[in-house]
Amino acid sequence: MADSNFIDYVKILCRSGKGGAGSRHYHRAKYIPKGGPDGGDGGRGGHIILRGSSHMWTLLPLRYQRHIFATNGESGGAGRSHGKDGEDRIIEVPVGTAVFDADSGEFLCEVTRDGEEIYLLRGGKGGLGNVHFATSTNRAPRYAQPGQPSIEKAVVLELKLLGDVGLVGFPNAGKSTLLAAVSAAKPKVADYPFTTMEPQLGIVSYRGDRSFVMADIPGIIEGAAEGKGLGLRFLRHIERNAVLLFMVPADSDDIAKDYNILLNEVREFNPDLATKSRVLAISKSDMLDDELREEIAKTLPDDCPTIFISAVTGQGIPELKDLLWREITSEDNQTDYAITHRPLDIRHRVAEEDNFIFEPEPIEDDDELNLETDEDWEDEFWDEESSVNS
C-alpha cells in the first residue's frame, strides 16, 4: 500500500501559535512629562483549523507535510498599538475524516460536511498591555501580561468513507462484481482473492431519481480484528455506514458459520457495529436450483433479512435494492447512525505511518566523554561552558 495514492491514515504533529506579549511602554513627548502607560496588547497566535473538502478523496497531501505549525502573535507596541495576529494554518481534509489523539487514542472530532471548519488547536491569546492595569491608585503600572503559550499535539487522521451500505465478506465473495453491476464504479474483478486493495465507492440508482452510496472494502478473513489479512486496515470504512450487507457465496460449505465469523470480526473491531442494520446476501446463486435454494434457506440465520442474488445474471438485484432502501430509510437509521468511533488502540494503528517521528536518533559513542544519554551530554556541555566563562 506504500505506492498507492489512496491514503486513509496519517499521523501529523500540529502546533498552534503562542500569543504575543503585552507592551509596558510609557508615552513620551516633549511637552508631556507624565504621559502615562500606553503599551498595546499582543496579537493572538495562529489557529490550527481543519476544513472539509468534497474535492479530496485521500489524505495523500498530508503524508508529505507531517509538521504543521501556525505562526506566533507579535508583541504589542507603543501608542496602544496592537501586535499582529499569527497566521492560521488551514488543513484541508476529505469529508469523513476523524481525528484521534495520537498518544491516548481518544476520539477528538470529525469533519462530516464540505466547507465545515473545526478549530483543532486554538492559538494562545495575546497579553494585555500595561494601559489596561492603570488605576487611580496605580497610574504607572510597570507590568503587562505575557501571551498564552502555544499548544502542541500529535494527532492521527483517519479517513472513513461516507456510504449508506457497506459490503462485508470474505475474499472472492462477489462484492466487487455486485458493485460493478449496480453502479457505474469500475472496481477490479478477477478470479483470485484480494483483488480489491482499496475501498471503492459506487452510487446505486434506485426507483425514480433516488439513489444511495455503496462502499466496498477489501475482503476480510478470520482473525482480521487481530491484524490478520487486510481487513483490519480497512474495517474503519464501514463504521459510518447505515447498513452492513454481508455477502457469502452460495458454494460455501456452511453459510451460517461464515456469516457468524464475519459478524464476530466486525464486532471484535468495534462492538457498536453489531447494532447496525444487517442484510445477508447469498451471492453466486445462479449455480443453485430451486431445491438447493430451499435447503440452504432452512440453515440461514434469523437475526437479519436474507436474499439470494447473482450479480452476473441479475437475479435478485431489484429485490436487493428494495430491501436495502427499506433498511436505509427505516426509523432506526434516521439518527446519527453513521457516527460510531472506537478508540484508537495499538491494533488499529498503521505502523509504517505511526512512527514517522518521535523516534530519537541513536547517539554515537564518544570515547572521551563516554556518555549514554542526551541528558548526560547536556550536563557535560553546560559544565564546560560554565568553566570557560568563570
Dihedral sign computed on CA atoms, order 349, 355, 357, 363: positive
Rounded Cα distance between 164 and 102, Å, is 29
Query: pTM, whole model, 2 decimals?
Result: 0.70
Segment 75-109, tens digit of pLDDT: 999 888 999 999 999 999 998 898 999 888 888 99
Segment 138-167, tens digit of pLDDT: 988 999 999 999 999 999 998 887 778 888
Report the half-sphere exposure of 199 (CA within 13 A, side-chain side).
27
Please give the full DSSP string across 14-64, using - where no structure is assigned: EEPPPPPPPP--B--BTTBTT--B-PPPPPPPPPEEEEEETT----HHHHT
Rounded Cα distance between 64 and 316, Å, is 46
Cell of 374: 542526551
Rounded Cα distance between 66 and 167, Å, is 32
Return the higher-pLDDT residue of 332 and 216. Answer: 216
Beta bridge partners of 92: 51
Tally of helices (H runs) and strands (E runs) in the chain: 8, 14
Closest CA to 17 of 118, 116, 148, 130: 148
Q: What is the pLDDT of residue 241?
A: 81
Segment 329-357, tens digit of pLDDT: 887 665 444 455 777 766 667 776 676 55
Q: What is the pLDDT of residue 298?
A: 84
Beta bridge partners of 14: 68, 153
With cut-offs at 50, 70 and 90, classify the pLDDT of residue 379. Answer: very low
Range 52-56 average pLDDT:
89
Closest CA to 303 of 328, 282, 274: 274
Report the half-sphere exposure of 251 (CA within 13 A, side-chain side).
7
Residue 216 near residue 244 (C-beta atoms within 8 A) = no
Rounded Cα distance between 118 and 239, Å, is 21
